[in-house]
Every structure is written in C-alpha cells, then in structure tokens.
C-alpha cells in the first residue's frame, strides 16, 4: 500500500472497522487481525485504482469490497476447490448428439433464471466444495427440465456421503456420479454446514437423480448451442486473480486470467453488451454479497479464464 497521511490513515482504519462490522469478522488474535487488515487495505487500494479505469471506460468490469476482501492468499486458495485432470476428461458429446440437432434454433440470448431452472445462490464458506455447488446446480436444472420442478439439491449430502474429503476439492462429474447412483435430497432436509460430517443419507427423502452426463469439447460456439437449447452447464475457470475475488459487476475480461482452471461455477445464460460485446451469465457459490447478487458476467468467445476448457452437463 502506498504512503498515506494521518487523515487518510484514520479513514482507512475507520473503513476497516466498518468492514468488520458489516461482515461479522472475527479473528483468533491481534496478529491474525493485522494480517487480514493489511490484505483489506491493499485490496481497497487495488479496487480504487481499477475503478478509476472503469470510470474512464478502460475496463469492462467494476470491483468492490466484499466479505472475502481480507482473505490471505492461502485462505482464498481454499475457496477454489476445483481439481481438474485433463487426461481423465473424456469428451463424449457424440454419445448424445441427438440433443444438438443442426436445425435447432439457438436463441441470441438466454437466462435460465427466467425459466425456473436455477436455484438461489448459496455460500460455500470456508470449504472447497465449489465443484458440488456447480454440479448440483447443473443437476437441479436438468431435473427441472424433465419434471417441471426446481429443487435445491443438498450439497452437504454429497460432501458427507461421497469421498469424505469434499472440502479439499473435486470435480463436477463426481457429484454427477453420486446423483446418478444414490439420488439427491433437498437442502432443507440435509442443510449445508461447510464441513464434512458422517453421512446421513435417507433414501426415502430422495427427490431427484440423473441418468448420465456429457463432457463437451472446447468450443464456445458449441457451448452456446448447449446452454441455449438444453440448459445450464458446469464449467471451470481460473478464479485466482484479485480482480475476480473482488468483482462487482460488468463483463469480467482481465487479460491476466489464464486457462488453468481452479474454481467450479455454472453457466446459466448468455447475452451481448452493446459496448463490450458477448458474455456468459454465470452463477457462483460465494453468497449474494459477491458480484451481481452472487452472479457474474464474463467475456464470451475467447475462452476467458479457461471457461471452455472442460464444460460438462447432466441429463435427468
């Protein structure tokens, strides 16, 4: 953080106090608090500089302080629990090519929230279970398409009953596999606690399951066709940058973003901005105080942040 005078310093400290109160922050000791305070102040400085660029039209997205703006790198890394193995990601799109007939009309824009296919945003908290939130979101949409009923499937059920190390990360198709084999209960019956516990699976409370899943090739035109005509798709992105961590709104297009995917999210639509062009509409699992009420827009057509590296979706 750059040098500040006394007036600026006291304002920053006051901002820190407001931040702690707003998000109910508690720290183990003064040393830990000092570390998080420094992260917060550095982040605030970064946000101010970036938003000046945004105001001048030099950036397509805006940043803001949110509940994870004080996270250290190690703590933030824990939020991004996607474990991707390229050699094990076998594309099987041809297996279900009948769903993607060439004569199907692809809409210019789509937002599956308008069609009752997307459940409310949740907060994964200090557990790297993004892969389950993404996978469950895709299964919710697939089951809603089949049955006409939208459920919020239990993330905690999958975390407790499949593998035992859910908070250490995973891959969306692991959640799909569980949803196929055992079926899923609703969040209300099996609520989320952000840690792995003993499995309490109750077959009598299962409300939905899937039949299989399709892994897509790296092609955003093809991805648009799937999202536009079938429904939401689970994807991985590189979420490592502070610009994403503190995203507020607009179309995320940070050129420093890589294709090394480390966080699982759910594409729920797409559209085009008259100034900044094509974008995806994506659901995150960091609560509603992050981004656009828990969602974000990201540049479409350039594999931004690796979003087209390994798309996958289930069929109910």
Residue positions annotated with a catalytic role? 130, 263, 284
Positive/negative CA dihedral, 20, 26, 29, 33: negative
**Which of 159, 303, 305 is closest to 221 using CA atoms?**
303
Distances (CA, A) of 285 to 1, 23, 128, 134: 30, 17, 10, 8
Going by C-alpha positions, the residue among 2, 8, 73 that lies closest to residue 39 is 73
Q: Please enumerate, as own/partner, the contacts of 115-118 that have beta carbons within 8 Å and a separation of 24 or more.
A: 116/144, 116/150, 117/141, 117/144, 117/145, 117/150, 117/231, 117/232, 117/268, 118/150, 118/232, 118/266, 118/268, 118/283
Rounded-to-integer distance, Cα 291 and Cα 296, Å:
6
Kindly report the number of other CB atoms within 10 A of residue 112's CB atom: 22
Token pair 């995203």: residue: 247
CA distances 268 to 137, 165, 177, 279, 281, Å, are 9, 27, 21, 11, 6
Mapped onto helix, strand or coil, the DSSP state of residue 10 is helix
């Amino acid at each position: 953080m750059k040098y500040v005078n006394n007036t600026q310093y006291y304002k920053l400290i006051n901002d820190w106090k407001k931040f702690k109160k707003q998000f109910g922050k508690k720290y183990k000791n003064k040393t830990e608090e000092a570390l998080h305070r420094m992260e917060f102040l550095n982040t605030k400085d970064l946000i101010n500089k970036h938003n000046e660029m945004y105001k001048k039209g030099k950036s397509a997205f805006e940043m803001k302080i949110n509940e994870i703006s004080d996270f250290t790198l190690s703590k933030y890394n824990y939020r991004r629990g996607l474990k991707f193995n390229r050699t094990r990601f076998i594309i099987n799109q041809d297996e279900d090519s009948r769903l993607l007939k060439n004569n199907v009309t692809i809409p210019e824009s789509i937002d599956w929230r308008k069609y009752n296919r997307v459940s409310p945003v949740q907060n994964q908290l200090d557990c790297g279970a993004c892969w389950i939130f993404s996978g469950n979101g895709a299964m919710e949409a697939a089951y809603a398409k089949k049955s006409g009923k939208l459920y919020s499937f239990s993330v905690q059920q999958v975390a407790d009953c499949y593998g035992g190390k859910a908070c250490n990360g995973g891959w969306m198709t692991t959640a799909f596999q569980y949803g196929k084999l055992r079926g899923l209960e609703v969040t209300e019956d099996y609520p989320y606690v952000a840690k792995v516990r003993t499995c309490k699976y109750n077959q009598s409370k299962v409300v939905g399951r899937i039949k299989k899943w399709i892994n897509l090739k790296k092609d955003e035109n093809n991805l648009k066709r799937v999202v536009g005509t079938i429904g939401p798709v689970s994807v991985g992105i590189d979420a490592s940058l502070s610009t994403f961590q503190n995203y507020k709104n607009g179309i995320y297009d940070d050129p420093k973003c890589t294709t090394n995917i480390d966080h699982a999210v759910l594409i729920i639509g797409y559209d085009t901005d008259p100034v900044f062009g094509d974008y995806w509409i994506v659901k995150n699992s960091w609560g509603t105080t992050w981004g656009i009420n828990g969602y974000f827009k990201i540049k479409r057509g350039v594999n931004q942040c690796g979003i087209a590296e390994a798309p996958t979706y289930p069929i109910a």
